[in-house]
Amino acid sequence: MQTQQHPYLSRLDHLRFLAASLVVLFHFFHHTQGDLRSGNPLVSLVDEGHTGIALFMVISGFIFTVIAGHKDIHYAGFIRNRIVRIYPLLIVAACLQLFVSTYNDHRNYGFLQLLGWLMPFRSETIGLSPYFQQMWTIWVELQFYLLFPFLILFARRYGSRYLWGVLGLMFVLRALVFAASGEVRYIAYETLFGRLDQFVVGMLLGRMWLAKDNDKAQSLHALWLVPSALLVLAVLHLFSLKVGFAELKSPVWVVWPLVEGAVWGCFVWVYLQVRWPGPETLKASIDKGLAALGAVSFSTYVFHNLVLAAYNKHAGVVYFTGLERFDTILTGLLVVLPLVMLMSAFTYHLIEKPFLSMRRGYLRPSTPQKSN
């Protein structure tokens, strides 16, 4: 991410890698262990690793807000750039899913199903292969792209209170759905009516970033990461013990999207500003390596379940210590995640990266807005 006033923030790619890794470990853990609640907060982090999706959403809202800066967005140009960025890999995945569903799963799918997978709206009538069941999040992301230019325009016109109002509206809508039906988990977890909270949290962080003195960036002591990371662990651990991903009827889902986005927002804000100790050459090497892993996070997300399915069919948990849950996490980290990243590097360099040069500028000098 780079603009004239705001240079590339490599640490956002670090966070993308973290988000993708959590989702990979979550799916591997649940494929092998099922939905298991644990008294260990680190196990809860993996058991609730779907939270990586929330981190992705916060990052997206932050990035687009900072890139836009104080300029106006040309709507068609913005959407064109997002199509060029997302659709090459999405089309490959959708075509592969069509062939897998037709020939391996013996489903009578055709061109209309293919179009359905490429549209930014989910329908329960459009089946998903287990290899690509995570693709619903891309549809939510596409919906956010359609809304973002309007959200940033209104935020500039009416101030951040407009975004706080959006958060309040989403909360009220989820509360009404729960009051009417007794269930809101699907709405909160898999639709824009839950995920918009996390995008907007990212936008609020982006506006704070634009307002701060960037000469003081990376001014926090590294120890600040400890309380921010503990906050994430504590909230996820409590959620895992008291509610859990599989719980459909809990009223906690009314507020959970905002809570999840807020704790990740705190972590993102701190991580972007901490000052790492150690030799500059070592820090630069670590930064470059993590950024490279984060750069392929979209490929990681799209194809990881296919890699997991192939791995689980021919291998499984490697028992390093004899402790099943611990060994499952170790296998995910030391065996499965590297395999997924290798596949991601192929698809990124062969499919995603060649299209990146086709993106064009979509920012224009801003027109005067009403003072906030």
pLDDT digits (tens, 9 = 90+) for 327-353: 988 999 999 999 999 999 999 999 999
When divided into structural domains, the chain yields a total of: 1
Contact 332, 23 (CB under 8 A): no
Give the range of the structural domain holding residue 273, as residue numbers without chain letter. Answer: 35-279+346-364
Band (pLDDT 50/70/90 cuts) for residue 141 is: very high
Residue 130 pLDDT level (bands cut at 50, 70, 90) = confident
Which residue has better confidence, 252 or 216?
Answer: 252
Band of the pLDDT at 104, cuts 50, 70, 90? low
Q: What is the pLDDT of residue 288?
A: 95
pLDDT for residue 105:
63
- The reported pLDDT for the residue numbered 369 is 55
Residue 80: pLDDT band (50, 70, 90) is very high
- Is residue 62 one of the residues assigned to a domain? yes
3-state SS class at 323: coil
| 54 neighbors 260 (Cβ within 8 angstroms) | yes
Q: Is 335 inside any structural domain?
A: no
User: Would you say residue 74 lies in a domain?
Assistant: yes
Q: Quick check: 291 and 14 in contact, CB under 8 A?
A: yes
Q: Give the pLDDT score at 221.
A: 83
pLDDT recorded at residue 162: 97
> Which of 300, 221, 233 has its CA nearest to residue 56?
300
Task: Kindly report each contact of residues 258-261 with a partner whose C-beta sits within 8 Å and lies 24 or more positions away, as own/partner.
Answer: 258/167, 258/170, 258/171, 258/197, 258/201, 259/235, 260/51, 260/54, 260/198, 260/235, 261/54, 261/57, 261/58, 261/197, 261/198, 261/200, 261/201, 261/202
Q: What is the pLDDT of residue 372?
A: 46
- Whether the per-residue pLDDT at 125 is higher than 50: the answer is no
Confidence of residue 217 (pLDDT cuts 50, 70, 90): low
Closest CA to 78 of 367, 359, 366, 358: 359
pTM of this structure: 0.91
**What does the CA dihedral 118, 124, 126, 130 come to, rounded to 10 degrees?**
90
- pLDDT confidence of 19, banded at 50, 70, 90? very high
Average pLDDT, the chain: 88
Calpha distance 247→161 (Å, rounded)? 33
Give the mean pLDDT of 152-159: 95
Identify the residue with better confidence: 31 or 13. 13
With cut-offs at 50, 70 and 90, classify the pLDDT of residue 107: low
Mean pLDDT is lowest, of 85-99, 106-120, 178-192, 288-302, for 106-120
Whether 25 is covered by a domain: the verdict is no
Query: For position 290, what pLDDT does the model report?
Result: 95
User: Does 291 map to a domain?
Assistant: no
The answer on pLDDT for 7 being more than 70 is no
Domain contains 119: yes
According to the model, what pLDDT value does residue 4 have?
Answer: 43
Q: Is residue 27 assigned to a domain?
A: no
Tokens of 184: 């809101």
Q: What integer is the mean pLDDT of 275-282?
A: 88
What sign has the CA pseudo-torsion 363, 365, 370, 372? positive
Say if 320 falls within a structural domain: no
